[in-house]
Amino acid sequence: MARVFTRMGDGSASWLSEAEICQDLEEGMLDAADRGRIPELTDDEMERLYQIISNPQKTVSIERGNEVVATFDAGTLKLPVRAGIPVGRMTTVLMHERVLCSDTMEIGNTDYSYKQLKNIVHEEATSMELTQLNCMIPVFYGAMPNLGLYTRPDGPIDNWSELLPMGKISEARAAQEEAVEMATKDMVYVASLLYEAGADGINFDTVGASGDGDFLATLKAIEILKEKYPDMAIEVGMSGEFVLGMHGQLEFDGIRLAGLYPQDQARVVEKAGGTIFGAVINTNSRKTLPWNLARAVTFSKACSDASNIPVHVNAGMGVGAIPLSNTSPTDATSRVSKSLVEIGKADGL
């Protein structure tokens, strides 16, 4: 029986039969539909997924006319930090524009959190202005809300992750509520200065990493920023497919944030004033690429159907069905990209 080369969720090679691929596609799709309470993929869509997975070409691509825009998180950290190429941030942006033909780019600091940027925000603004004078593609500025940095010893607030195991529920919730206000203020301050320095947009990245308080702080910051700058482009990239209820009772516009899946996350981001939603679907490193891909496409399609703003599915290491490895194999990334766009209805990646 012929076997098809594919990948596991950790990037390792795997050879599967047609029956095994079909089974994994079915199980991954049903897992997403059950967890997210969203529609299943149609038989035609499942067949299309199988054809993409089993394509004998090493690398596949979308059909002409289905091209989408790509945005970045930690954009200027990829080459100089992760790839170890000794270039500055402006050169990184220009390489993306003039060599890699990127649609957009993002400037970020190695200390990639809004709280940490307050002390150097004017230097960051200068870097943004100089970069804008030398390039043509839209350049965002991005960082993380990172609510955990407001807890001791890095910040002034008691750590709710320490309070919760001690049964101090009310104290843990109060600490998170205090951190939300501080984080909101910091994000508005930094984003305002970078936007006025010429940033084409602001990226709030890895939102919700510290739970529902992290998400709420971002939503509140977006509301304030859109009131100050109605034309500001704001991208919100999530940290995971499911908002952790570290607080459990926080709401935005009457909607409880804990437990929201991508399609509902997109709705509240849109209500707050966000202009691009970066959906995240977690990759399970112990499952196959077909399983992870069917699951990601099911969530992506439901999210795109629910959202009136563009959905840019996070397609990088460990999310969006991309294998959890430092250097993602192109045979996997190309199949994921094609599937998310042509079946999952993603507006971008």
Q: Are 70 and 103 in contact (CB under 8 A)?
A: yes
Task: Please write the tens of the pLDDT for every residue from 283-328.
Answer: 999 999 999 999 999 999 999 999 999 999 999 889 999 999 988 9
**Residue showing tokens 């089974």:** 23
Torsions phi, psi for 9 (to 5 deg): -70, -10
The number of beta carbons lying within 10 Å of the beta carbon of residue 249 is: 12
Q: Which pLDDT value is given to residue 108? A: 94
Task: Give pLDDT, residue 111.
Answer: 92
Strand (E) or helix (H) holding 105: strand 105-107
- Domains of the chain, with CATH numbers? 4-342 (3.20.20)
Q: Which of 165, 167, 147 is nearest to 157 (CA)?
A: 147
pLDDT beneath 70: ranges in the chain? 1
pLDDT tens string 146-202: 999 999 998 999 999 999 999 999 999 999 999 999 999 999 999 999 999 999 999
Query: What CA–CA distance (Å, rounded) separates 231 from 112?
Result: 24
Q: What is the pLDDT of residue 326?
A: 85
pLDDT at res. 296:
98
Half-sphere exposure of 87 (CA within 13 A, CB side): 16
Nearest-angstrom CA–CA distance, 292 and 140 = 30
Residue 35 pLDDT = 96
The two three-digit tokens of residue 94, written as one number: 């220009």
